[in-house]
Amino acid sequence: MSKVKARDIYGSEIEVIIDDEKVKNCPLCHISIRPDGISSFLNHVALKSDYLQKIYRCPNCNMIFLALFKQINPEGGRQIYQFERSEPYRPSEPSFPENIKSISSSFCSVYTQAKSAEEQGLSDICGVGYRKALEFLIKDYLISKKDELRLDEETIKKTSLGNCIKNHIRDAKVQEMAELATWLGNDETHYYRKFENKDLSDLKELIHLTMNTIDSNLIFEKHKKDMKPKA
Q: How many residues does the chain have?
A: 231
Q: Which stretch binds Zn ion (CB under 5 A): 56-64, 85-93, 164-172, 214-222?
A: 56-64
Q: Which stretch binds Zn ion (CB under 5 A): 21-29, 71-79, 157-165, 172-180?
A: 21-29
Nearer to Zn ion among residue 33 and residue 80 (C-beta) = 33
Nearer to Zn ion among residue 115 and residue 132 (C-beta) = 115
CB of 67 to Zn ion, least distance (A): 13
The count of chain residues that interact with Zn ion, using the rule CB under 5 A, is 6
Does residue number 61 form part of the binding site for Zn ion (CB under 5 A)?
Answer: yes
| Residues contacting residue 178 through CB under 8 Å, at least 6 positions apart | 134, 138, 165, 169, 206, 210
Phi first, then psi, for residue 182 (nearest 5°) are -65, -40
Does residue number 123 form part of the binding site for Zn ion (CB under 5 A)?
Answer: no
Is the previous residue joined to 97 through a cis bond, with omega within 30 degrees of 0? Answer: no
Nearer to Zn ion among residue 61 and residue 149 (C-beta) = 61
Q: Which stretch binds Zn ion (CB under 5 A): 60-68, 72-80, 110-118, 169-177?
A: 60-68
Binding Zn ion (rule: CB under 5 A), the pick from 16, 18, 26, 184 is 26
CB of 37 to Zn ion, least distance (A): 14
CB of 65 to Zn ion, least distance (A): 8
For 10-15, the CB contacts below 8 A with 24+ separation are 10/45, 12/46, 14/42, 14/46, 14/47
Does residue number 114 form part of the binding site for Zn ion (CB under 5 A)?
Answer: no
- Quick one: which of 20, 21, 26 has its CA closest to 92? 26
Binding Zn ion (rule: CB under 5 A), the pick from 2, 12, 39, 60 is 60
Q: How far is CA 213 from CA 24, 77, 138, 171, 218, in A?
A: 33, 54, 12, 9, 9
Binding Zn ion (rule: CB under 5 A), the pick from 18, 58, 203, 207 is 58
CB of 56 to Zn ion, least distance (A): 9
- Residue 83 neighbours by CB distance under 10 Å: 18
Assign residue 175 a region (left: φ > 0; alpha: ψ between -120 and 50; beta: otherwise). Answer: alpha
Determine the distance from the C-alpha atom of residue 73 to the mean position of all C-alpha atoms in its chain, rounded to a whole number.
Answer: 31
Residues forming contacts to Zn ion in the complex (CB under 5 A) are 26, 28-29, 58, 60-61
